[in-house]
């Protein structure tokens, strides 16, 4: 059973995240989208909201599950028997940052990180830009999944 976790803040989930999961769906038997809950971090959306947005996004993807976690990603991966960590790469800055983390994680746990390159046309999308646009009353509908637009703008 090839089980991967896709860890992140997902504050909120964007079309960039959705694309990575959709493309990884063929590669794994199960993908757990793992919503990080770091007590030191301030989120715009609560853990419950972030989980609900992701559940709505992947409601037609039977292999995709959503969970929240605290602490080290590798500890959570081991706890749920996931052999792979899935991450997306947008640009060289992502690569440099992710490289050190992936190497550390493999050293500490043996867990492999699998990277998918961002889709052309989606590399500029980030949760922080979505939050900024939303905070200032702009239109976020071209940046996040349609079902999430409905939930946020209800
Ligand atoms: P984190 O705080 O862990 O970076 P994010 O929610 O920002 O959490 O991102 C989770 C994962 O999704 C990361 O691997 C990130 O590189 C990837 N990601 C975010 N936006 C995009 C995008 N537009 N295209 C591809 N991957 C993306």
In what order do the strands lie in the sheet containing 112-117? Answer: 64-69, 30-36, 3-8, 84-89, 112-117
- The structure's pTM equals 0.95
Q: How does pLDDT run across 38-47, given as a tens digit for each residue?
A: 888 999 999 9
Q: Which is catalytic among the residues 9, 17, 50, 87?
A: 17
Q: How does pLDDT run across 77-132, given as a tens digit for each residue?
A: 999 999 999 999 999 999 999 999 999 999 999 999 999 999 889 999 999 999 99
Distance (Å, whole) CA 137 – CA 32 = 32
Query: Is 26 within 8 Å of 132 (Cβ atoms)?
Result: no
Domain positions in the chain:
3-152
Pairing, β 3-8 against β 84-89: parallel
Q: Is 41 annotated in the active site?
A: yes
Q: Is 59 annotated in the active site?
A: no
Q: How does pLDDT run across 10-56, given as a tens digit for each residue?
A: 999 999 999 999 999 999 999 999 999 988 899 999 999 999 999 99
User: What's the 145 CA to ligand 1 centre distance in angstroms?
Assistant: 15
CATH superfamily of 3-152: HUPs (3.40.50.620)
């Amino acid at each position: 059973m090839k089980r991967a976790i896709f860890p992140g803040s997902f504050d909120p989930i964007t079309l960039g995240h959705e694309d990575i999961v959709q493309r990884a769906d063929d590669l794994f038997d199960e993908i757990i989208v793992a919503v990080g809950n770091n007590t030191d971090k301030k989120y715009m959306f609560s853990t419950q909201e972030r989980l609900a947005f992701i559940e709505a996004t992947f409601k037609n993807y039977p292999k995709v599950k959503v969970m929240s976690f605290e602490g080290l990603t590798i500890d959570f991966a081991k706890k749920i028997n996931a052999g792979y960590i899935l991450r997306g790469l947008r640009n060289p800055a992502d690569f440099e940052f992710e490289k050190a983390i992936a190497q550390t994680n493999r050293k500490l746990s043996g867990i492999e990180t699998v990277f998918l390159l961002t889709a052309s046309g989606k590399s500029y999308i980030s949760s922080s830009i979505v939050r900024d646009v939303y905070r200032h009353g702009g239109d976020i509908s071209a940046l996040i999944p349609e079902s999430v637009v409905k939930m946020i703008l209800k």
